[in-house]
Structure 1
């Protein structure tokens, strides 16, 4: 398969008949049909993946995953249930959403691991805060941080973004994001320690 660039996907005009025929041939193991199908649809697949995932490299990997699914499951395509392109877009969307969720889980694990290096982790401090007064204190603690620290922490914790995604959003290196979050959590712990019970 040819590499995919970052050029915005064009709305390639692909009549349903030829695509359906290609899928039928792919189901029989026809490599030439698969290549033709890929060339006709890869930009549309990559475009949807990129809009869903944002990250270019992960979008490329997801596009490759989608076409692997097409190769392995072409026989499952049912023209009575929709057009070939609709079928392909459903596969793409599902795979892209799976990748987003996997990246978010990875981000949360990384944040938890990083905050355990701090004596009283942020997630332990905020865990179980249901009292309005406690919530107010946490918000006041966040207000003590610099705007850059607060923005980085908010994107990572509440926006469920990975460090690279936060870095891309803010236009700074990943190391800078990690440093801001680490320092911000330490300041937050120092602020909350005297006024809230910390385990």
Structure 2
């Protein structure tokens, strides 16, 4: 897809090992095969991004949501049932669902903000509890970030904390875009494992 920041076109990506079909690649992903995940990523990332962009309509948010979908594919690979449709169809369904959730979440947040502003409510206990929970989560994220390579850590920080696109990250770090994409993908996998996210 022209303009996608997520992955190289499937034709220039990693070839499927031994001519495996995509559903067979998915079976390997379900077993934790990271090389198979690379193949899956190259095969569906552009499609996922395109679907998300049509729903979310914001490129930066769409890149973030598309990465969440790719993590979902990694985490839920064991749930894929080839009898219910192709891998592309499943990825498309997950992408659309995630994108709609993001739009609804943004609308709900905007409505909540509006309601709070109108009512001008003070809820100190809830605020303190939320701050404590956020701080604990932040500490875990910081601990897991230390396990990444320097390039992975810089790329993730620029993309998710400063809101840069992959292309902007590549330019900032003076690193080829395909390398940034690969390091980001591997870094997200390592963060997921460190954070204890399970299927």
Task: Normalising by structure 1, report the TM-score.
Answer: 0.50
Larger Rg: 1
Q: Which has the higher contact order (CA 8 A, sep 6+)?
A: 2
Task: Normalising by structure 2, report the TM-score.
Answer: 0.50
